[in-house]
Every structure is written in C-alpha cells, then in structure tokens.
C-alpha cells in the first residue's frame, strides 16, 4: 500500500500588489493554519517518507512548522520549481516517477492542480469527506489517499481511496 498526502499551501498574503506571486508569504491566518496542520499531521500521521514541495514562499512556509513538528530525523525534502502552479497532469506524472521505496509521500502545492489531482485520484471514500473534497479544496486542506496497487507508475485516476480530508477550520483550536 502507498499513501499520498496532498496539501494545499495555507492562506497567503495579498498585502503587496507589486509582489511577485512566487514570493508571496503566508498571512497571519495562514501561519496559524500551517501550525495547526503540522500538529495534526505529526500526531495523526502517516509520517511521510518523502516531502515534495513547490519552491514558492507560501508552500515553504506551510512546510516549515511541519518539519519541526515531525521531529528528527526529518524526512527527505525536495523543493521543486516545477511544482509551482503545476497542473493536475504534471503533479500526477511527478508522483508516478517516484522511487518504489517511497511508501508515503507528502506533496505541498497549489490550486487548481492539487485540488484537481485529489479529486481525480479519489475513486472511493467516505462521505462527507469525498463530497467536501470535490466541492472545494481550500487553502491549507490536506487529503490522505491510499493507493493499493503498490507501483507508483500505476497511479491513475480513480485508483485511490480517500481516507481523510481535513481543512484548517476542522482543526481550529480557538
């Protein structure tokens, strides 16, 4: 069994219209959501064997508290420019190219690609999670998908079971 964790970056700041999109940071709400999600993933798992992350500032800031929460040794992290605003197809191809030794991968990216990929991969799953995932993939949302085939190269639309879909508001501690 393989596990795919798909995390959309937390809420980003739009304070500076002149700022390059790639360099936009998280806003305060996003920082708080990233902390909450990090605690959730570290406590409830599964622990990733590999983390793939877009090079955008907001994805790296979403990743930072997670690395801290997971503790040492940290899983290998690959910051990849190609994941920045990547399409569903590009993200799927990246996952299909994973080494078979990887059992659980966390991919941190952007919509529309990450949400579309989650919806496409989830062939089965419990309601209301499946419906919520397909309706909207908000910032900071995390989908946990199980892939029974065992070969990353065979990852395909509908091949996964959605085990969980968590949004920051589902975990809000305030």
DSSP per residue, 87-133 = -HHHHHHHHHTS-TT--EEEEEE-TTHHHHHHHHHEEEE-TTHHHHH
| Stretch 31-59: mean pLDDT | 95
Predicted pLDDT of residue 44: 92
Task: Give the residue carrying structure tokens 């799953």.
Answer: 125
pLDDT above 60: residue 174: no
Q: Give residue-wise pLDDT tens across range 112-163.
A: 999 999 999 999 998 999 999 999 999 999 999 999 888 999 999 999 999 9
Residue 72's CATH number? 3.40.50.1240
Q: Give residue-wise pLDDT tens across range 61-113.
A: 999 999 999 999 999 999 999 999 999 999 999 999 999 999 999 999 999 99
Q: What is the pTM of this model?
A: 0.95
The domain total for the chain is 1
Question: Would you say how long the chain is, in residues?
Answer: 174
Instruction: Name the 3-class secondary structure at 142.
Output: strand
pLDDT above 90: residue 14: no
Cα–Cα separations (whole angstroms), residue 164 to 103, 116, 144: 17, 16, 5
In terms of residue numbers, what domain contains 76?
2-11+20-171
Cα–Cα separations (whole angstroms), residue 22 to 15, 19, 25, 98, 164: 14, 8, 9, 25, 29
């Amino acid at each position: 069994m393989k596990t795919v964790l798909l995390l959309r970056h937390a809420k980003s700041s739009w304070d500076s219209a002149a700022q390059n999109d790639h360099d936009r940071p998280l806003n305060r709400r996003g920082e708080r959501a990233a902390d909450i999600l990090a605690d959730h993933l570290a406590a409830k798992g599964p622990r990733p064997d590999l983390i793939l992350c877009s090079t955008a500032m907001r994805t790296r800031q979403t990743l930072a508290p997670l690395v801290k929460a997971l503790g040492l040794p940290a899983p290998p992290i690959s910051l990849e420019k190609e994941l920045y605003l990547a399409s569903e197809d590009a993200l799927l191809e990246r996952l299909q190219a994973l080494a078979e030794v990887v059992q659980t991968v966390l991919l941190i990216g952007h919509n529309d690609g990450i949400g579309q990929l989650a919806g496409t991969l989830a062939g089965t799953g419990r309601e209301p999670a499946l419906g919520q995932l397909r309706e909207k993939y908000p910032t900071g949302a995390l989908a946990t998908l199980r892939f029974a085939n065992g070969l990353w190269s065979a990852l395909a639309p509908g091949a996964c079971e959605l085990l969980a879909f968590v949004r920051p508001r589902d975990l809000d501690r305030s």
